[in-house]
Structure formats: C-alpha cells, structure tokens
Amino acid sequence: MRRRWMPAVALVGLLSLAACGGGGGDQGATGGESASRQVEVYSWWTGPGEADGLKAMRGIFEKQNPDLTFFDAAVAGGSGNNARAVLAAKLQADTPPDTFQGHAGAELQGYIKAGDLEPVNFLYDELKLKGVFPDQLVQQITVNGQIYSVPVNIHRSNVLWFSPSVLREAGVAGPPATIPEFVAALEKVKATGKIPLSIGSEWTLTHLLESVLLGSLGPDAYTALWAPGADWSTPQITRALTDFKTIVSYAGPPQDDWQPASKQVADGEAAFNIMGDWAYGFFHNPPDGGLGKQSKVDFDWAPAPGTDGTFMWLSDSFTLPKGAKNRDGAVAWLKVAASKEGQDAFNPKKGSIPARKDADPALYTDYLADALKDWSEDRLVGSIQHGVVANQPWLAAINEAVGLFQAGQDVAALQAALADAAAANAQ
C-alpha cells in the first residue's frame, strides 16, 4: 500500500466533508449501468465565480458526450486545502475519482512521485498538444519524459484589487506601487473608518504572504527561497516578514473564505484585497454566479505592491488517476479540458487566461487582456499557496506557521518556523 502524507488538521471534519460529497457536488449515481457512464470530476470549484467556469466546461463536455454523465465531486473550500485532504484519503483507500484537479508544479509532482497518476503522453500525441502549451508549463507536469496532466489555465496570484471610491474617500491618489506606499495608503484608509485590507480564511494569509515576500525581496531572492539549502535566516527575510506584520495589522475581521473578503472591496466596504484573479470572475460574472460588478468603477486592479513586472503564476490541471472506475470517461473529460473550445469557455468565466497558446484573444478583455499581456512579457515566479514552488507537506508547514503567527504576531517565531519548514521539505 502506498504511504502518503495527510495534514492532521485537515483530517478533522474529513468524514463530514466526504459524506456530503462536497459543497457544490452532485449526488453520485449508485446503480451499475449509470455508474459506468458516470464521470467523477473532482475539484474545489463550488463557490460563486469559480463554479461558473466549471459549469461552462461541463456544458461542452455534456454536448460532446451525450452517453456520459458528469458527476460534480467538488469539495468546498477556496484554494483546495479541504479538497486535497479528502483526496488524500480517497487515494489512500485506492478509490480515486476519475479525474482530479491539481496544481502544476510541486503539488502535482507529489502525486506523480507517489505513483498515483497515469501518464497522458498518448493524449498529447493524439491531440498534438506538444507545442500548444508553453514549454515551461509542460516541464512542471513532466517526470522522466512522461507528462501527467492537462493544464486548463493560468492564474495570477499577485493582484491587488481595490475600491476606487474608497481610495478617493481616503485621499489615496492611485494603487500603491511599493510596500511603503501601501502602508501609507492603508493608514489613510484606516482614518476614514473603512476596512483598509480585507482577508478571508487562514489560507488567504499565506496567499498575502507570498505577494509580500515577492514585493519585499524581489523576484531573484524570492525564487532562491525554493532551492534546497536556501537561507531563510537573512535580515532581508526579517524585513519582509516585518512588512507582513505591519500589513496584517490593517486587516479587517477574517471572513469565511476568499469570496466574502473580495466582496468587501467590490461593495466599497474595504479598500484593498490581495487575491488571485479568480476574484475577477467573481466580480465580473453576471449575478446568477458572480456579483455583476462594474470594472474600474466598483473594483480595479494593479500588481501587488512592489511586484510590477513579475507574474506570480499557478495553473489548474486535470489528471488521469490510476485505478479509477471510468478511465474512458476521464479521457473524454481531459480532451475537453485540453481543447481550445473547452479552454475558451472555461477561462473567461473563471477569471483566468488559457494555458493554450492559440486561444482566441478577443474573448479576453478588460482585466483578462492585461493578464494575457503580462503573462507574455513579465518575469515569472511560482505561487506558494497554489502548489507551484512548495510540495504539500511544505505548504502545510507554512500554513501552520502563518496560522500561529496570526495568533501571536511573532516575526522571529514565524521566520524560524519557515526556516524549519524549508530545511525539512526542500528537495
């Protein structure tokens, strides 16, 4: 039997999460015949905004595969910390879903190394996918020449979302370009009584931390942190973590997840939120899924302070787990996920840009046009919270350190815990 890591904290409540089939999931089919037609697609896209993207791709899948039944096995919880814990239990029990969402980079490499996934080179050959995705992205999902997933998008993590009206009210001329400017702007907003910075559940603080580390250290020093033997004890890191402490001191009450935190900006209750560009889908999509807010009026965006010219990326990919019930059904899903039609339906709703290089640029307007341009021009660095640079045990240790920091506000303890996490997990 395979041994695998599972975060102890995430095991709490695992049964209840698994038992309800997730936040937005369908009821699974039980009968023999229907079960063989059913394709279990596992993700964490249940909430407003992100579920819209999945729904759009599901529509194409159902149109192209009238003989198959899509089973939405999503487990609620932004950024997938819950979903990955439930998935670890399913893989441990050798009852994998037919296909699951994972992040390109260190996160997927963990599943590959554990032997959970079947290579999909045959699909790359059949669909002529080599050359369709950026080389650097394919490298993140390849081990020993075998490719193990189909990337469906590129998201940007280092986005500062802001409320133009709250900034005006506070006398802040525009989005802050540096961390000192950011702190000055937060202070001005505080004086108005509005929330300077909105935050969500615990993982959103790790998300904030990755942008602050990048903004304070710059892309070279940030990238160097993920190499084996990296020195996490430097004064530069102490300064970055002190910046983090200062910024967090302006945060409003933690919200349940990323959506209510981002919504505080779009509703003009908070000035700033640092969140990935899935927030764009949520703000922009019509009210049956998103908030139907007006771009540049209700919300606006800029690179997170100090990170202009760097695109902190992540990519959602779908996999072919070994030993799943409906391999053919999973392959049918992967074909849709890989296709231009699938990606061009999914991404404009999801708030992401396509992983494919040949998608239709006319569909990517407003914020998404900026993202497309920056993806092709900016320096690239990988996200921590969203699986690119740190594997799952490392991320769990970082999440734990940040959680303790939230309670104690102790910069030295945070730096020591981050150094220990790196020493224990960097490969």
Residues of this chain that interact with ligand GAL (CB under 6 A) are 44-45, 50, 78-80, 103, 155, 258, 276, 278, 314, 316, 386
When the beta carbons of 48 and 96 are compared against ligand GAL, the nearer one is 48
Distance of closest approach, residue 373 Cβ to ligand GAL, in angstroms: 21
Cα dihedral 174, 176, 177, 179, rounded to 10, equals: 170
Residue whose CB is less far from ligand GAL, 77 or 96: 77
Of 155, 156, 188, 190, the closest CA to residue 174 belongs to 188
> Which residue of this chain has its Cβ atom nearest to ligand GAL in the complex?
78
By C-beta, is 194 or 349 nearer to ligand GAL? 349
Q: How many CB atoms lie within 10 A of CB 282?
A: 27
Closer to ligand GAL by Cβ: residue 155 or 194: 155
CB of 101 to ligand GAL, least distance (A): 8
b/e per residue 66-82 (b: at least 16 CB within 10 A): eebbbbbbbbbbbbbbb
Please state the closest distance from residue 82 (CB atom) to ligand GAL, in A: 10
Q: How far is CA 113 from the centre of its chain?
A: 21
Using DSSP, state whether 273 is helix, strand or coil. Answer: strand
User: Which of 45, 161 has the CB closer to ligand GAL?
Assistant: 45
> Are 147 and 120 spatial neighbours (Cβ–Cβ below 8 Å)?
yes
Closest distance between ligand GAL and the C-beta of residue 216, in Å? 23
Asked if 387 and 91 touch (Cβ cutoff 8 Å), the reply is: no
| Cβ atoms of residues 87 and 73 within 8 Å | no
Integer Cα distance of 239 and 195 in angstroms: 25
Compute the least distance from the CB of residue 111 to ligand GAL, in Å: 15
Q: Which is nearer to ligand GAL, 314 or 371 (CB)?
A: 314
Whose tokens are 């370009």? That residue is 177
Q: How far apart are CA 261 and CA 201, in angstroms?
A: 9
* Nearer of residues 243 and 374 to ligand GAL, judged by Cβ: 374
Rounded least distance, CB 215 to ligand GAL, Å: 20
374: helix, strand or coil: helix
Alpha-carbon gap, residue 37 to 372, rounded angstroms: 37
Cα 309 to Cα 33: distance, rounded to the nearest angstrom? 53
Question: Taking the mean position of all CA atoms in its chain, how far away is CA 362?
Answer: 24
Identity of the residue, 103 or 263, whose beta carbon is nearer to ligand GAL in the bound complex:
103
**Exposed / middle / buried, residue 107 (Cβ in 10 Å: 0-12, 13-18, 19+):** buried
How many CB atoms neighbour CB 400 within 10 A? 17
Between 232 and 282, CB nearer to ligand GAL: 282
Min. distance of Cβ 193 from ligand GAL in angstroms?
Answer: 30
Residue with Cβ nearer ligand GAL (58 or 155): 155
**Min CB(414)–ligand GAL separation in Å:** 22
Give the residue among 415, 398, 407 at the shortest CA–CA distance from 207: 398
CA-CA distances (angstroms) from residue 17 to 55, 87, 89, 148?
21, 11, 12, 27
**Smallest gap from residue 250 Cβ to ligand GAL (A):** 23
CB of 192 to ligand GAL, least distance (A): 29
